A and B are shown apart, each in its own frame.
Chain A
Amino acid sequence: MSDLWRRCLERLEGELSAEDVHTWLMPLQPREDPTGLFLYAPNPYSLDTVREQYLVKIQSIVEHLTGRALPVRLEVGSSGGRPAPMRPASATHASTPASPRAPEAAPEPPHVHNLDPHYTFETFVEGKSNQLGKAAAMQVAMNPGRAYNPLLLYGGTGLGKTHLMHAAGNLLMQNNPGAKVLYLRSEQFVSGMVKALQQKNMDDFKRRFRSVDALLIDDIQFFAGKDTTQEEFFHTFNALFEAKQQIILTCDRYPKELDKLEPRLKSRLGWGLSVAIEPPDFETRAAILLSKAADKGMEVSEDVAMLLARRIRSNVRDLEGALNTLAARANFYRKPITTDFAEETLRDLLNTHAQAVTVPNIQKTVADYYQVRLSDLLSKRRVRSLARPRQVAMALSKELTEHSLPEIGEAFGGRDHTTVLHACRTIRGFCEKDVRMRQDWEQLIRILTG
């Protein structure tokens, strides 16, 4: 580091808070030459703040230290012209533009696919909740543009939609090495378009997207309310569809339920196949944990995996967080991960998950969901409009809490444990036969555990 800047920083550290120093001044990279002191800011936002709030002070300290009016110049970039950090698997990834890095990465040219090579079908843990999605994604990868177009995977956050999408892209490229596949998060599509509009090169933008063999866009729910984006996406969609180029999309819900999405776009999305990815069941959660643990080189027994899978139901990311937390502690203490060790380590974490779901909480959520009064739900009345939600609430209490059948019966206005058992069986039967019921059930679980 430039000696002048180091001494300047020492002075500033004495005058400013550590927070300000580390937010604005430490990130600056200095370069000193006879014509002045150059300070490179990591981004335009920092540059503006430094210029407005600190430049005068820096100049006066520099003048004081050198005894002359040495110019101080601010620029965005890095002092050594150091390239931006590479992604971990740089060979197959897009590299980000070299410094100065733009604050928002523009969509890369189509030959850069953005696929993560770690996301393959082999590393995807299959269960009842996602087997349909997996089968469809494989079909599409093997018959791009012909099997299902578009393929739309929808479901809550952290359930593996992105994994399947990358896996399809990776398999497609493996089978057709020359194929141009492009994966983008929806926000990259939006910001790429905004940039193209600003720079008046929409033609390039259109060409870039329409020349690919497969376009994969993640989280299209974020297109909602962005009319110009939807318009452009609509045309891109049509062009790709007509040329039999594959489109794969993900969304956090069934697109027809998305507000602020143009009807004509909604209808296009329904042309191909839409598959729900549901929260994994207990066995799948345990299998996912074991697979992730193996991936991280951790030794985790089935008992530990089952302990975590029983307590954490919300989504795969929370399972991963639990595993990461466990790894940090096991590495630090150099201890094997036993169930006791897992219990102890994750007490805080598991408590937050367990606490969230209580029987009163379930009763209230179910009452809200079916728009019935809580007092009616707990009453003795047996009309159908109350009986069904009551059974759902009982079955959820069995599924999501550690309470026994008699305890649950007690909490529902002093009912017998056989009534609760009957409710659990009835609802399970309904879920298998009735799509609507299964959606309600999954949705309630998401609300309660999300």
Chain B
Amino acid sequence: MTPQLPLALRWPRRQRFEHFHPGDNAVAVEAVRAAAVDPSAPWVFLAGPLGSGRTHLLIAACQAAIDAGRTAQYLPLAGLRGSRAVAIRGMAGSDVLAIDDIDSIAGEDDAEHALFDTFNRYRADGCTLLFSATGAPVSLDIALPDLRSRLGSLTQAVLKPLADAERRGVLREQAAARGIELDDVVLDWLFAHHARDLGTLLDLLDTLDRASLAAQRRVTVPFLRNLLKDD
């Protein structure tokens, strides 16, 4: 018998500020929130490793900007198809532009230049730019010194990943929202055998959500092992 396919609907990942677990990052969260809603607040450069919540915060910033009556656009450079220089130059007309993963254009001459021009233009227009990368501007391999120094002039918000206990809490909460129960045995196994960063774990939760729905069974370690093997 073929398994029943769930609807092509996903549980939208809720990425507002109120869904962000600040851990040690409360200063960073507040700096990003202020920049999103207040045109006179300083721009922010978010630095943090994968899974530290950079994307969540940038998307939350866009949402908060829209709620405050501003227009906002999110630009993920890492996953973008086509020329990134063209995309960066094309992104005009919003009050807030949140640019994710700028390390992915480091060393790309055209894209760096486009970002430099965009920086100057947004500055002159009194709009807001937010940036994120895996490290501080000086640590990225940005070749254009004019761009690097401009990024260095922003409020530097360094994100620290959540501790294991906090990550467990977030996972459990997100799972509960989807009607999935994750017990300690399952969580122990996930942390030991899968990944520890929250982004990957939350992605897994989406997969799990659909798979356990399709299989109509509880989430256990053998079930997980089987699912991840298929991946």
Q: Are B76 and A321 in contact (CB under 8 A)?
A: no
Contact of A103 among B27, B45, B89 (CB under 8 A): B89
Whose C-beta in chain A lies nearest to the C-beta of B88? A45
Query: Which of B10-18, B171-179, B183-191, B220-228 contacts the other chain?
Result: B10-18
Q: Are B145 and A156 in contact (CB under 8 A)?
A: yes
A324 interfacial contact with B, CB 8 Å: yes
**How many residues on the A side are at the interface (Cβ–Cβ under 8 A)?**
62
A130 CB contacts on chain B under 8 angstroms: none
B207 interfacial contact with A, CB 8 Å: no
A99 and B72 alpha carbons, distance in the complex (Å): 15
A172 and B176 alpha carbons, distance in the complex (Å): 66
A349 and B92 alpha carbons, distance in the complex (Å): 31
Contact of B74 among A19, A219, A324, A332 (CB under 8 A): A19
Shortest A87–chain B CB gap in Å is: 4
Shortest B65–chain A CB gap in Å is: 10
Whose C-beta in chain A lies nearest to the C-beta of B47? A348
B200 interfacial contact with A, CB 8 Å: no
Contact of B12 among A13, A222, A328 (CB under 8 A): A13
Q: Are B30 and A332 in contact (CB under 8 A)?
A: yes
Restricting to B49-80, which residues have a CB under 8 Å from any CB of A?
55, 59, 62-63, 66, 70-76, 79
A225 and B15 alpha carbons, distance in the complex (Å): 44
Q: Are B92 and A102 in contact (CB under 8 A)?
A: yes
Contact of A27 among B71, B79, B138 (CB under 8 A): B71
Contact of A100 among B39, B93, B156 (CB under 8 A): B93
A73 interfacial contact with B, CB 8 Å: no
Whose C-beta in chain A lies nearest to the C-beta of B89? A103
A352 interfacial contact with B, CB 8 Å: yes
A252 CB contacts on chain B under 8 angstroms: 145-146
Q: Are B9 and A103 in contact (CB under 8 A)?
A: no
Q: Are B157 and A46 in contact (CB under 8 A)?
A: no
Q: Are B9 and A348 in contact (CB under 8 A)?
A: no
Q: Are A84 and B76 in contact (CB under 8 A)?
A: no
Contact of A157 among B13, B92, B149 (CB under 8 A): B149
Q: Are A332 and B27 in contact (CB under 8 A)?
A: yes
Contact of A318 among B117, B125, B152 (CB under 8 A): B152
A185 and B15 alpha carbons, distance in the complex (Å): 37
Q: Are A314 and B149 in contact (CB under 8 A)?
A: yes
Residue with the greatest number of chain A CB neighbours at <10 A, chosen from B55, B59, B86, B92: B92
Q: Are A352 and B90 in contact (CB under 8 A)?
A: no
With A19-B55, A317-B152 already in contact, the answer to whether A353 and B138 are too (CB < 8 A) is yes
Shortest B157–chain A CB gap in Å is: 7
Contact of A43 among B9, B59, B90 (CB under 8 A): B90
Contact of B153 among A22, A324, A352 (CB under 8 A): A324
Shortest A48–chain B CB gap in Å is: 9
Q: Are B59 and A22 in contact (CB under 8 A)?
A: yes
Q: Which 9 pairs of residues, A with B, have the shortest CB-CB distance?
A: A45-B90, A42-B93, A317-B153, A22-B74, A158-B149, A87-B126, A324-B155, A317-B149, A103-B92
Contact of B39 among A46, A88, A99 (CB under 8 A): A88
A203 interfacial contact with B, CB 8 Å: no
Q: Are A101 and B42 in contact (CB under 8 A)?
A: no
Shortest A21–chain B CB gap in Å is: 8
B8 interfacial contact with A, CB 8 Å: yes
- A interface footprint on B6-49 (CB within 8 Å = 1, 0 otherwise): 00111111010000000000110011000000011010010000
Q: Are A18 and B12 in contact (CB under 8 A)?
A: yes
Q: Are A42 and B71 in contact (CB under 8 A)?
A: yes
- A interface footprint on B148-163 (CB within 8 Å = 1, 0 otherwise): 1110111111100000
B121 CB contacts on chain A under 8 angstroms: 104-105
